[in-house]
Structure 1
Amino acid sequence: MADKILSKNDNKLASLTLDRNIPTPKEIPQEHSYLRRVGRPLRHVKYIPTKSLIFYSVNKPPQFSYEKKIKTPIAKDRLVVQVTNVGLNPVDLTIMNSYTKHMNREIGIGREYSGVVSEVGSNISQQWRQGDEVYGIFFHPNLGDGAAQSSILVNPSQDVIIPKPANLTFQQASGTLFTLGAAFNVLDKLESKGQLNESSNILINGGTTSVGMFAIQLLKYHYRVPKKLVVTASEFGATLLKSHFPDLCDEMVFVNYVTNARHLAKPLEDMINNREVISYDAQTGQPISTPYDQGKFNLILDFVGGYQLINHSATLLAKNGAYVTTVGDYVHDYKKDIFNAWNNPSANARKMFGRLLWTFDYSHFYFDPNAKYASGNDWVNKCAELVENEVVKCVIDKVYDWKQFSDALAYLRAGHAHGKVILKVEKF
């Protein structure tokens, strides 16, 4: 093709086809862009460090943990309480017994507390202030949170929290609200159903339990029940109640459940049928007879559990009477009992079908202290008023440093506590 073009002597075409010694163009240097990892701007996130008493399962002893932290600033509807004391309850043991396997997560201990407010969310700053002394209930059995921490994050819309009055010590405050709330709600429900009134004849099984002590005070100081209360207690327990409430010595009739452990109903039936109470002098052992003319009971409050009294309901309870238990048909065993509302089959069956088979009203009481349920009868404010006016008081049995938690839990588990067991929480 090139020869044909050249043969025509076309100089222009020839110039286009001739090879020329032109150097190859040099490569134009280019700058390549690369993605580079750079440092993230610092975010000023602060935390409140906490020391917590926790456990992993009932088969592994509790221990202290430093893993939980409270992020600040806190939510607008929350507040932080620096805990000073924690009240232990049997429910703490039943929750521990429920975790039989290592769940690889920390489970907290303690359901009620006292302390000082250290942080306040902006939405509740008109109601609460830093430095406020408070006490309340921190009940989260299914979430694993416990009050035995140096600081806790509280949601006032769910967690009951109230100002601590000056006449109440931190130790007393930490052991008051959970058991007082339970006793108040039991009696308030009975009063609303017309089963608690001035003519009520009442038997309290377990008068030296914390709930039993508050029930005695409420019945005599708040409801002003005129008849004598029949109380089952050990000899030591009866002496203890008399020492704490000397003005009620003549308002209570004591039946020793220790000497009648297997036949608790027998001395009660004899008391009703024979119209006398037989007690024994502590020094000489001689029997002492005291008249009793109150007849059968209109109301039995059982804070111990067991089937003995129910089995003799026909001879103990008056027609249309009421039987309320916080435990169930089995005597409490804090080494085995678990946190489960349906672990008492016979009690639950009686609760559902009892009215068809018996002439008394049976109730297996369960206390849910969530603040959102408290508006029904305003029990929180009513209990706070009773405490502030010194109508009722918390009876403390023992106080332990929280480093002695093993001794505190062992004492509670033995079932011999006559009043509240309190832990002192150190600052952290």
Structure 2
Amino acid sequence: MKALTFQRYGKSPGIGFTDLPLPTLKDDELLVQVHAASVNPVDNMILSGIFKPVLHFRLPATLGSDLAGVVTKVGSRVTRFKPGDAVFANIFDRGTGAIAEFAVVPESLAASKPVNLDFVQVASIPLVGLTAWQALKERANLQAGHKVFIPAGAGGVGTFAIQLAKHLGATVGTTTSTGNVQFVGRLGADEIVDYKKQAFESVLRGYDVVLGTVRGDAVEKSVDILKPGGRIVSLVGPLDAAFARARGLNFILTFVFGLMSRKIMRLAKKRGVSYSFLFARPDGAQLAEIARLLEANHIQPVIDKVFPFERAKDALAYLAQGHAKGKVVIRM
């Protein structure tokens, strides 16, 4: 089978197509013929080597983690799926990739494809959906009547998270460029800050939750918009000691991550709020719940651009420019 792989970490990762043998299934796994896969910012971050101490790949490794496709074979202990079933999944942190003609998916990570969406639409969902779900519902316990700040509202995570937060009954604040103000408003954002004209920290107040989606000092600045007792859940860092402990990392990495997050922890404590870093985990049961929201049209996929499989490398380069409105998808 053909797969998009990288050879090494760094500025010249050697991205290209490689012919690989069909993977061997374990008893609890599915072999899925991939019809579409989407790319996420973390894919480019992996290439840089920033997560090398945390994520373990055997190089050359197949890129991508989001996929939608059709089951072609199942392991002996699989009970929920059979060949011919249409599924979608995220296989992040499994050491394997999704931008390939076939992918191996543990049964516990797969969910049935929503019937009202095509493969390209469905492939755009898994990682952003799981990230928003785990950040807002699990980590932040977002409730009806809460106020949540979701910066970069026109991005991949932002477009999904705004819709999920509104479904949960929250008031949503966001930032975006001038040209996307109306777009994020249609998604459901209530307080919209044009970052080209205003600084969000000088406009927004009284928030219960911040979803950290923008690199730089935006997470630190967001401390000032929270109520006492508020929560910051960051997807972009800094990594913290709790994250290191949860992943069973060694003492040295735990100490280093603690140092990395020392400033934001100090600012959060001073304000009476909490900070944590989130690495979303694959979860088929949560994807099934997300599928029900998609089928009921409570949340709709937002896709910026679709690339053919032979231009998969271009999809990563396009995403790296940072201007995508919604998700970037690869059609097989």
Q: Is the shorter-chain TM-score for this pair beyond 0.5, marking a shared fold? A: yes
Q: TM-score range by the shorter chain?
A: 0.7 to 0.9
Opposite residue 115 of structure 2, the aligned amino acid is A
Structure 2 distance, partners of 1:320, 1:61, is 46
TM-score, structure 2 normalization: 0.83
Indicate conservation of the 8 Å contact 1:115/1:170, yes or no: yes
Structure 2 distance, partners of 1:385, 1:150, is 27
Structure 1 distance, partners of 2:3, 2:219, is 41
How far did 1:199 drift? Answer: 3.5
1:367 pairs with 2:280 = yes
For 2:61, the equivalent position in structure 1 comes to: 107
Q: C-alpha deviations, 1:162-202, integer Å up to 9, x for none?
A: 1112201100111101111110111112454xxx3334233
Structure 2 distance, partners of 1:205, 1:216, is 10
Structure 2 distance, partners of 1:156, 1:165, is 17
Q: C-alpha deviations, 1:3-54, integer Å up to 9, x for none?
A: xxxxxxxxxxxxxxxxxxxxxxxxxxxxxxxxxxxxxxxxxxxxxxx11111
1:166 pairs with 2:115 = yes
For 2:210, the equivalent position in structure 1 comes to: 300
Indicate conservation of the 8 Å contact 1:351/1:363, yes or no: no
SS at match of 2:77: helix
Of 179, 182, 192, the residue aligned with 1:254 is 192
How far did 1:100 drift? Answer: 11
How far did 1:257 drift? Answer: 1.3
1:323 pairs with 2:232 = yes
Kindly report which structure 2 residues correspond to 1:12-411, keeping only aligned pairs within 5 A, or say none: 50-57=1-8, 58=10, 59-71=12-24, 74-98=25-49, 105-124=59-78, 126-140=79-93, 143=95, 145-157=96-108, 160-190=109-139, 192=141, 196-221=142-167, 223-225=168-170, 227=171, 229-242=172-185, 245=187, 248=188, 252-260=190-198, 264-265=199-200, 268-269=201-202, 271=203, 295-308=205-218, 310-311=220-221, 313-314=223-224, 316-328=225-237, 348-349=261-262, 356-369=269-282, 371=283, 379-411=286-318
Indicate conservation of the 8 Å contact 1:305/1:329, yes or no: no
Aligned residues: CA RMSD:
2.9
Structure 2 distance, partners of 1:99, 1:189, is 26
Indicate conservation of the 8 Å contact 1:205/1:231, yes or no: yes
Indicate conservation of the 8 Å contact 1:201/1:297, yes or no: yes
Structure 1 distance, partners of 2:218, 2:105, is 42
Gaps of 5+ in 1: 1-49, 273-294, 331-339
Larger Rg belongs to:
1
Indicate conservation of the 8 Å contact 2:153/2:174, yes or no: yes
Gaps of 5+ in 2: 240-248
For 2:243, the equivalent position in structure 1 comes to: none
Aligned residues: 313
Q: Relative to 1, partners in 2 of residues 1:76 and 1:320: Cα closer, same or farther, differing over 3 Å?
A: closer
TM-score, structure 1 normalization: 0.66
Q: Relative to 1, partners in 2 of residues 1:411 and 1:344: Cα closer, same or farther, differing over 3 Å?
A: farther
